[in-house]
A = this chain, B = another copy of it.
Amino acid sequence: MGFWKSLFSSADAPSATKSMSIALESVEGASDRGSHVYFSTDREIDLYELEELCSAVGWSRRPLRKVKKAIQHSFLVVTMWEQRGTQRRLIGFSRATSDHAFNATIWDVVVHPDFQSQGFGKALMKHIIKKLRSEDISNITLFADPQVVDFYRRLGFMSDPEGIKGMFWYPD
């Protein structure tokens, strides 16, 4: 995938993103749109912008107070941004809960429809996996909707390994 080749150092970040320059990591994307795509682990996210992203993929609204709390208490939050000149746009999001030792569970993986089927979701997931592995987390899990099971399988996720079943509790 040729467009994942260029690097975008934090020193190049325009002023609008300076506050998150520490969180800027290896920036893996420079799309063919005359823009850059980069990842951040900064948690200072505009919740309305996040809500807009989630609405774009058809997710139902959630109380912002709870979304904020969930972000605060996630082990890892990764956002994906398109930078075009001084403008940046939130195009992807994911987060993981964890015990900081053995297990992590990835939640809320979302990529804006304009950026789907172009490798951005895969890049986002690979970034999260790399981060979790670098924290010595050995067991990376998630719960996949039926339509994305194959997407995750191609990334190395197995469903029901050795018969282990993902289960959800529902009140009687």
Chain A interfacial positions (CB closer than 8 Å to B): 62, 66-67, 69-75, 95, 97-103, 105, 107, 129, 139-146, 149, 152-153, 155-172
Inter-chain contacts of A66 with B (CB < 8 A): 101-102
A149 touches B167 (CB 8 A): yes
29 A–B contacts from the bound complex (CB under 8 Å)? A66-B102, A69-B99, A70-B101, A73-B75, A73-B98, A73-B99, A73-B101, A74-B99, A97-B97, A97-B98, A103-B105, A103-B107, A105-B105, A105-B141, A139-B168, A140-B168, A141-B166, A144-B167, A145-B162, A145-B163, A146-B162, A149-B167, A157-B167, A157-B170, A158-B167, A160-B165, A161-B170, A164-B166, A166-B167
Q: Is the interface of A mostly helix, strand, loop or mixed?
A: mixed
Could you tell me the distance in whole angstroms from the C-beta of A150 to the nearest C-beta in chain B? 10
B143 touches A156 (CB 8 A): no
Inter-chain contacts of A167 with B (CB < 8 A): 141-144, 149, 152-153, 157-159, 166
